[in-house]
């Protein structure tokens, strides 16, 4: 992991994904499961950025029209 500030996240994943992830670590593709999860999340966010931006914009509009402070 880099020297950037980090946060610990606790989650549950299917056993099959854990087994596959551990196999990638054992094969040397990742240093540890943390590195694998960080890379997977980064790739997901990079590949879904326009979709996320649109969704957040729609939520902002809905909040502006109907939200309360």
Q: Is the pLDDT of residue 69 over 70?
A: no
3, 45, 50, 55 from 59: Cα distances, Å: 33, 18, 14, 6
Residues 18-31: pLDDT tens digits? 999 999 999 999 99
In a domain, 36, yes or no: yes
38, 40, 61, 62 from 43: Cα distances, Å: 9, 5, 27, 28
In a domain, 2, yes or no: no
Note whether 21 and 29 are within 8 A (CB): no
Query: Taking CA 42 as the corner, what is the angle to CA 27 and CA 62, rounded to the nearest 5 degrees?
Result: 150
Task: Please give the residue range of the domain that contains residue 32.
Answer: 15-66
- Number of domains making up the chain: 1
Q: Is the pLDDT of residue 17 over 90?
A: yes
């Amino acid at each position: 992991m880099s020297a950037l500030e980090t946060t610990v996240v606790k989650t549950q994943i299917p056993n099959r994904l854990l087994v596959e992830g551990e196999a990638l670590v054992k094969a040397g593709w990742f240093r540890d499961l943390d590195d694998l999860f960080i890379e997977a999340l980064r790739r997901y966010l990079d590949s879904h950025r326009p979709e996320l931006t649109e969704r957040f914009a729609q939520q902002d509009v809905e909040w502006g029209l109907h939200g309360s402070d």
